[in-house]
Structure 1
Amino acid sequence: MIEPPQSVFEKPEPTFNKFRKAIANKEFLITAEVSPPKGSDPTHMLAQTRSLKGRVHAVNITDSSRAVMSMSPVAASVLIQQQIGIETICQLACRDRNRIALQGDLFGAAALGITNILALTGDPVKAGDYPDARSVFDYESVRLLQLIQKLNQGLDANGKVLPNQGTDFLAGAAVDPQSPSWSGLQKRFERKINAGAQFFQSQLITDFERLDKFVNQIANQSDKPILAGIFLIKSAKNAIFLNKFVPGVQIPDRIIDRLAKAKSPLQEGMAIAAEQIQTARQICQGVHIMAIKAERLIPEILDRAGIALL
């Protein structure tokens, strides 16, 4: 009898499980958003990320956010994990992939040691730098979460047993506590819970009373952590731009006025972000910090918020 050849592939050990353990231990979760480069040189991305080591449980790698083309989030995640040693949460959007490509990318991510996925529908292409590109949207975020559940069980999208091993992802989802439709927000949240979401990252939060209401009336019905989106607003002009061009963002006039009157708008923006982290800490189980092109400032923001080294 001829023995089948043994695999020579050594799958990376799941060394990046800090985020999963922190969720299980009910720790206050800290994640930061990092954007892959618009090109093949990751030097700047890695330099910005290096300062986050020891300050965050994981960095969240965007997938062509706002439909602006960038390096593959899988490739960027692997580079960060291998060269910096920080755990990643790899975003995966349905906008650009059908179910075949989604499964292929998920298998590749698992084989390369990525353990966390944020399942997203994806921003419409009209918002980005290729408005004439053809969208896919074969799935949306709930169906992507359901797919990840199947892969974790060793099954493919058709429910057939995978001959070469399944996955073991911690899957998360996005949520917008400031959504104008309360019933729609609740239904969408419950669908994502039922589809297997293990954590939730919120959109940019400015209305913390609304966040508190969401956590107490909807999210607390589950045991899944909510990470409030905290955005470093660099100036009044930046705030006005966000209000005008980013869907769902509603930065109040009091914050815009505060930034406009500040001697150093950037320093004032950092102070506001630190205050918001302190507020979020009283409401939910974590924060997701977005400091686009200024990730190096996140450690100082955490210091101001009284968040110690991890």
Structure 2
Amino acid sequence: MLFFVARRLLYLTPVLIAVSLLTFFIASLLPGDLAYVILGDQATPENVAALRKDMGLDQPVWIRYFSWLGNILQGDFGRSFRTGQTVLQAVTERLPVSIELMLLAEIIGLIIGVPLAIVCAARSGSAFDRFVTGSAFAMLSVPAFLSAILLIYLFAVELRWLPATGYISFTEDPAANLRFMVLPALTLALAEWPGIMRVLRSDMIATLQEDYIALAKAKGLKASRILFVHALKPSSLTLVTITGINIGRLIGGTVIVETIFALPGIGRLLIGAIYTRDLIILQGVVLLVGAGFVIVNFIVDLLYAVLDPRIRHGHA
């Protein structure tokens, strides 16, 4: 297992370097001059030249990249020229909101998708199975902003059960926090459960046709035990992968959802940095989000090895 982890970490290094390269060069190639943006009305040629020299903007791009990467490795992601706040401070303040939103969305997606997948696999080809799979396919085509608007109209405007926008910290008031987070999390979950359901359903249908399932039935085991003990675990490998990939989808979804529901998370921080052309914050947030996505996939690989020992021994 240690050899497997070490090998995966070795593979992880070039991926993280590639993420840093893409983050730096994409932000560096954006139109406009950062010195002019920072100076604003005071952007005289002399001031611009002095600031460019002070920030190293007059150096070749590859020198700037290695200087930036060196600062990153020392924990210095830069400082916003608009607010004076460091990137790590800005991210640390807003990250708990985004993590809570993603966890709630993933939990709701699993609560909806997994039971439906099990029932559809057990009753494959039935009217219920066709209805659920058709509904899942339809939900995949519904954009997050449309789901958000419909949920706000139904639960906040018409029924008045939940607030439409705003946020209260969990440590301040857990009950109020969950009331504000339900609609955003449900918006993301509505886009997540169809993929979870369809993948797990297909895997379970294939698993239920295996010989050992027929042997379990011949022994007279209960149908519920066969489904949940003998069929669900072998079918969960792909589900683990989908759950890990969904983190990337959820990160993208939070940008829209946090803006609609006025949540002070990473998504709104990123949008604000784009609107104000705060490239330091933009670079830092994109790098941290990208690195986080890579690390989540690394954890998924480790879970694969835990669920199926053949993978870490190279026999799968």
Task: Identify whether the pair has TM-score above 0.5, normalized to the shorter chain.
Answer: no
Bigger Cα Rg: 2
Q: From the two aligned structures, give the one with the greater helix fraction.
A: 2
Which of the five TM-score ranges fits, normalised by the shorter chain?
under 0.3
Greater relative contact order (Cα < 8 A, sep 6+): 2
TM-score if structure 1 supplies the norm length? 0.20
- TM score, norm. by length of structure 2: 0.20
